[in-house]
Structure 1
Amino acid sequence: MTNSKRFSSLIDPRNGFCNADSTFYSKRKPLALPSNDSLNVTTFISSQTHHGTTAFIDASTDHCISFSDLWRAVDRVADSLQHDVGIRKGDVVLVLSPNSITIPIVCLSVMSLGAVVTTANPLNTSGEISRQIADSNPKLAFTTPELAPKLASSGISIILECVEYSLRAPGGLRVVGILNEMIKKEPRGQRVRNQVNKDDTAMLLYSSGTTGLSKGVISSHGNLIAHVARYIAEPFEQPQQTFLCTVPLFHTFGLLNFVMATLTLGTTVIILPRFELGQMMAAVEKYRAKTLILVPPVLVAMINKADQIKAKYDVSFLRTVRCGGAPLSKEVTKVFMEKYPTVDVYQGYALTESNGVGASIDSVEESKRYGAVGLLSCGAEARIVEPKTGQFKGVNQTGELWLKGPSIAKGYFRNEEELITSEGWLKTGDLCYIDDDGYIFIVDRLKELIKYKGYQVAPAELEALLLNHPDILDAAVIPFPDKEAGQYPMAYIARRPESNLCERRVIEYISKQVAPYKKIRKVAFINSIPKTPSGKTLRKDLIKYAVSRL
C-alpha cells in the first residue's frame, strides 16, 4: 500500500500536504503503470491507441512521416542494428545529430533492443565529445557527415544518415551502415531478441553541468514508461494538435517530449533542424501550429521582437506556449501575455534526473498562478527540506525540494555522488516552497545562493527585477568574492543596442527595491548571457570570467 492511500484521510485536499509524514502528494489523477515487468519503453509507446496520422514533419524540407511508417522504420532499423551491426542488450549507442525526424527512429530502435541511448550536443567540441565517449564507452554512433569529423579521433564505428554522404566520411572513421538504407530494408523472418525488463537501463543522458562538470544520468525503461504514462493519465487539452519543436532533441526536455510523449498521444510534431526566430515564426504561420514548446531565452526573444513578428507573420493560430528547461519569472510571463494576449503560457519544471517529473501548468486556470511552475506531477511525491538541519517543512515554507516517484532516475553513471536517498528521494538542489493550493514556486538553486555577510541572496530574485528594466534584454547575477562580506551580488547585463544604461543607474534601480544586503554592488555589460541549450544560465562561466579579471 502506498503512503498516499495509507494517509489519504490525513492529506489536505487543497494542497496535498500530509502532516503525518510531512509529504506533499500530487493532486492530479492517479498514475496507472503496466504490471508487466518484461516491457521496454518502445513497445509501451507503440501499443498506445490514438487517432493521429502524421507523426513528424521536417520544417526545412516538408518531408513527413506517418505513425505507421515510423513504427515500420523503427522495426527495420532495430533488425539491422541487431543482425548487421551486432548491437546487443546493454550496448551504448551515441546519437550526435542536429534536430531531425530520424532521431526518434534511432532512439526507439536502440531502446527496443535493450541497448542504451546516449546523446551529445552537436555544438560541443571534439574534445568535449571525446570526454563523454570515454565516460560512456559507446559501441556505435549515429551522426551526420557534417558532424562526423568530431568523432574522427574516437575510433568509434558510425552510421551515417544518407548513402550519398558515406563517401565523404573523414579518415579514421569506419562507416558500418546508412540509416536511409536500413529504413528501407525488409526485416528478417527470425526475430529473436533479448528480453528487456523495466529495470534495465534505457538512456544515459548527461546533465547540463551549470554548476560543475556534466554527469551521466542512468534512466531505466520503467522510468521512461512512467514518464509516458503521465501523459496518458493527464493528456494535453487537445491531443491531436500540431506542435512545433524548437528545443534540442539531445536534451532531456526535447527527447522526453518529442520522442515519447507526443508519439503516445498521436500529435503531429514539426521539427526545426536548428533554432532561428524568423524560421520558427514562419513555421508557425505555414503549419498553423497551435503549441510551441520553448526555453525561456526564446520566449524573451519573442517579447523583444513582438512588433516585428506580428507585422510579418500570422500567429493567430498560436494558442499555447509551454516553457521549461529553466525558470521563467513572473515578470517575463506577464510581459509576454501583454504582447501576445491570445496565447497562454504553461510553465513546467523537471530535471534530467527526474525524467519529466516535477510540476506543470496544464490549464488556462492554472496558468493564472503567475510565478508558479505548476502543480506536482501525477504519481509524484514531494518534500520541502531545510538544507542545513534536514528538518521537513510544511506549506509556504522554503527549503530544498525533494522528489519521489517511478520516473526518478536510477543514479549517476560512474559517480559516487548521492542522487537518491535510501528511501528513494531525489535531492533536486532547488530552493522551493509549495503554497496553500499546492503550487510549486522555485526560489533559486541551492548551490547558487550568494552568501553576503551571513545573509543568503537569491540571484533569481534580482534577475527578475533587472528584467523589468526597459533597457535590459537579459541579465545574470553571480556571487563576487569579497574579503569583508565573503561574497556580494554582481550583475552581468545585456542591454538594448541603443541604450546608454550605466553601472550606477543599474545599482540605483535595484537598491530602491531590495533590502540593503541584497543590493547589486558591481555591474558588467556583455553582448549576451551564456546559457545551456535548455536556457539555463551558465553562472560558472560568468564566475570564472569575473574572478579572472581580479
Structure 2
Amino acid sequence: MKPSPSWETVPELVRWAAERYADGEAVVDGRTRITYAGLGARVERAAAACLAGGLETGDRVAVWAPNSLDWIVAALGAVSAGAVLVPLNTRFKGAEAADVLRRSGARLLFVTGTFLGTSYVASLRRAAGAGPAAGRPLPALPALERVVVLSDDAPAEFETWKEFLARGDGLPAREVALRSAELTATTPSDITFTSGTTGRPKGAVITHGQTLRAYETWADLAGLRRSDRYLIINPFFHTFGYKAGVLACLMRGATMIPQSVFTVDTALANIAAERISVLPGPPTLHQQLLDHPSRGSYDLSTLRLVVTGAAVVPLTLVERLRDELSVDTVLTAYGLSEASGIVTMCRRDDPATVIASTSGRPIPGTEVRVTAPPGTPGEVLVRGFNVMQGYYGDPAATSETMTEDGWLRTGDVGVLDAAGNLRITDRLKDMFIVGGFNAYPAEIERLLVTHPDVTDAAVVGVPDPRLGEVAKAYVVRRPGSSLTSDDLIAWSRREMANYKVPRSVEFVPGLPRNASGKVLKRELRARC
C-alpha cells in the first residue's frame, strides 16, 4: 500500500501513521503493547516536553540507549519538536560518547540507565565531569543543558524520564503542531556520526525529505506490508535500524518488536512468540539462527522477508534461508551513512546467485559508478537524492568526500557487472565489519598509541567464525616495556567499544612502510 504523499517530514509521517493505522499494533516491547494511536500520543507528549524545556528548531538532541519503545518515543518526540537527532552508539565508552556530544553541540541527551551491566550515566559522568556547573549538568559539555535518564532513577543534576515527560503536560497540543509545521523536506532531520580513515568521528547530515524518500523506496523494494511483524535487532543508533526499521514500519503500519541486543536464543523466542515475518540483519545473525541446535523446537514458519548485507553473503546462506526456513524473499543491499544508509539493493525477483554475489542495483533516483572499466575494481562513487548535505561542522572533510558535481566518494572498492549490479570487493579505507558493526583501523590505532607503552600500531581485520572479522593489532612496544598482549587487550576493553577491541596482538620491532611513510597493510595481512 502506497502511503499518502501529504507527508514530507518525520512528524507529519508520525501523525499520518497514528491516524491511518490507529488501532493497529505499533510496538511490542516486553510486556508493553501499544497501538499506532497510542504511539502517536506518546510522541506528542515527548515533543511537548521538549518544547517546555526550551528546545528550539535545529537544536541537536542525542539518544544513547539500546533499542526500546522509549528510544522510539524520545527520538521521534525530539524530531517532532524541530530537533536534529544525533544517535549515539551503545558500544561507545563514556569518552567516545562525550566527544560526539561535544562536537554536535547537543543541548539535550536521552540516556539509558544500565545496559549490559554498565551504568551509562556513571560512564558519562566520569568522562564529562560530575555535578552541575554554570547551570550545566556536565562541566565538560557546556552546550548540554539537560540529561534525561530513561529510567525511574537519576542523579540530582539529571532528570528521570517520568519527570521530563511531566514538563509538557500543560502545553497546548497546537504548540507542538506549530513547531512541527516549521519543518520542511529540506530541514536536517538527523546527524549520524561515522568514523573515517582519520579516526575522527564525522557527522553525516541528512534531511527529512532524503530520509523519507529513501525508506519509502526501501519499503517498496523489500515489499514491506501492513500485516508484517518486524523484529528490529539492527541497533537504532545505526541508520538502518532507525530508518529501515522504525520509519519504514510507520510508512506501512507494520508492527515493531525492538530487541535490545542480539542473542540467538532471544531472537528465536521472539520469532516464535510474536510471529515475526521480517528479520533484517547481518549474515552472522542469520547463520547463527540456522545453526542453533534447538532451532527445530521453535516455530519459524512466519518468516517471509530477510534483508542482509554489510559483508560477503555465502550462496549457501541464501539457499538455506529459502530451503530450510521457507523464507520467500531474501535480499542483499549496500549503503553508508553518507548516502542515507542505502545505495544499492537487490530486487525480489533476482536469482539467488545475484543476491549472494552482489549488493544489487542503484535505488531509483540515484547513480552509481566505479572509477575503473566495467568488470574491474575501482572506488565506488554515488550521486543522487540520498547523498548527505555534508559533514556537520567539517567543511574540509566534506570537500574531500564530495566532488563539485555531486559525487560521493565512498572509499569502498567495487565492481559493476553488465546488469548494473554492484559487488563490493574491498575497502579502500581498510574498514572491516565485526558482527555487523563497522570497525575502522585508523580509529583503533589512534586509541592504541595512547597507551604509555605503545609507540606505534597498525590494525587489520582477520577472519572470525562467529563475528565475520575481528581486529588484529601489530604493535611496536616502547623500549624496555614488558607489556603483554593480554595487558593491551584488557586495557583496550576499558578504553574502546567492544567490537573495536583487538582479539589478538602481535608485537613487532617496526611496521612495514612505503617510501612515503604509509603502513603497508597488505604485508601485515599476508602474515595473518
TM-score (norm 1): 0.69
SS of residue in 2 equivalent to 1:150: helix
CA distances 1:87-145 after superposition (whole Å, capped 9, x unpaired): 00111111011110122222222222321110112232111111111111111111233
Matched, 1:425 2:407: yes
Deviating more after overlay: 212-221 vs 330-339: 330-339
From the superposition, tell whether residues 233 and 495 of structure 1 become closer, same or farther in structure 2 (CA, over 3 Å).
Answer: closer
Aligned to 2:94: 126
Which of 372, 380, 399 is 1:401 aligned to? Answer: 380
1:328 aligned partner, one-letter code:
V
CA distances 1:258-310 after superposition (whole Å, capped 9, x unpaired): 221111111111111222110110000001111211123322322442x4322
Aligned to 1:373: 359
Aligned to 1:254: 241
Contact 2:149 2:158 in 1 (8 A): no
Contact 1:87 1:115 in 2 (8 A): yes
Contact 1:357 1:408 in 2 (8 A): no
Contact 2:205 2:390 in 1 (8 A): yes
d(CA) in 2 for partners of 1:402 and 1:270? 35
Matched, 1:79 2:48: yes
Deviating more after overlay: 398-407 vs 276-285: 398-407
Structure 1 residue 179, shift from structure 2 partner: 5.2
SS of residue in 1 equivalent to 2:415: strand
Q: How do 1:94-113 and structure 2 match up within 5 A?
A: 94-113=62-81
From the superposition, tell whether residues 233 and 302 of structure 1 become closer, same or farther in structure 2 (CA, over 3 Å).
Answer: closer
d(CA) in 2 for partners of 1:107 and 1:494? 35
From the superposition, tell whether residues 489 and 66 of structure 1 become closer, same or farther in structure 2 (CA, over 3 Å).
Answer: closer
After the TM superposition, which parts of structure 1 deviate over 3 Å for at least 4 consecutive aligned residues?
Answer: 31-36, 44-59, 171-192, 208-211, 231-235, 334-339, 364-368, 488-496, 535-538, 541-550
SS of residue in 2 equivalent to 1:283: helix
CA distances 1:326-372 after superposition (whole Å, capped 9, x unpaired): 12333563574487351243111110111133111241535442211
Aligned to 2:452: none
SS of residue in 2 equivalent to 1:316: coil
Aligned to 1:148: 121
Aligned length: 434
Aligned to 1:502: none
d(CA) in 2 for partners of 1:182 and 1:347? 44
From the superposition, tell whether residues 169 and 368 of structure 1 become closer, same or farther in structure 2 (CA, over 3 Å).
Answer: same
Which of 171, 182, 193 is 1:195 aligned to? Answer: 182
d(CA) in 2 for partners of 1:287 and 1:427? 41
Contact 1:60 1:272 in 2 (8 A): no
Matched, 1:354 2:324: no
Q: Percent sequence identity over matched residues?
A: 23
Q: How do 1:12-411 and structure 2 match up within 5 A?
A: 39-44=8-13, 46-47=15-16, 53-61=23-31, 63-82=32-51, 84-146=52-114, 147-152=120-125, 153=129, 154-155=138-139, 156=144, 157-162=146-151, 165=152, 168-170=153-155, 172-173=157-158, 178=163, 181=166, 187-188=172-173, 190=175, 192-193=178-179, 195-209=182-196, 212-231=199-218, 234=221, 236=223, 238-305=225-292, 307-310=293-296, 312-324=297-309, 326-331=310-315, 333-334=317-318, 336-337=320-321, 340-343=324-327, 344-369=329-354, 370-386=356-372, 393-394=373-374, 396-411=375-390
SS of residue in 2 equivalent to 1:118: strand
Q: How do 1:393-542 and structure 2 match up within 5 A?
A: 393-394=373-374, 396-415=375-394, 416-417=396-397, 418-448=400-430, 492-494=462-464, 542=502
d(CA) in 2 for partners of 1:317 and 1:298? 17
Aligned to 1:14: none
From the superposition, tell whether residues 179 and 227 of structure 1 become closer, same or farther in structure 2 (CA, over 3 Å).
Answer: farther
Structure 1 residue 217, shift from structure 2 partner: 1.2
Contact 2:300 2:325 in 1 (8 A): no
SS of residue in 2 equivalent to 1:95: strand
Structure 1 residue 377, shift from structure 2 partner: 0.9
CA distances 1:146-174 after superposition (whole Å, capped 9, x unpaired): 33223332354122334xx1xx3235535
From the superposition, tell whether residues 493 and 445 of structure 1 become closer, same or farther in structure 2 (CA, over 3 Å).
Answer: closer
SS of residue in 2 equivalent to 1:299: helix
Structure 1 residue 232, shift from structure 2 partner: 6.3
From the superposition, tell whether residues 43 and 289 of structure 1 become closer, same or farther in structure 2 (CA, over 3 Å).
Answer: same
Contact 2:86 2:191 in 1 (8 A): yes
Q: Larger RCO: Structure 1 or Structure 2 (Cα < 8 Å, ≥ 6 residues apart)?
A: 1
Unaligned runs of 5+ in 2: 115-119, 130-137, 443-457, 467-488, 511-528
Aligned to 2:470: none
Structure 1 residue 52, shift from structure 2 partner: 7.5
Unaligned runs of 5+ in 1: 1-30, 387-392, 450-458, 464-475, 480-487, 497-526
Contact 1:159 1:177 in 2 (8 A): no
SS of residue in 2 equivalent to 1:207: strand
d(CA) in 1 for partners of 2:6 and 2:251? 18
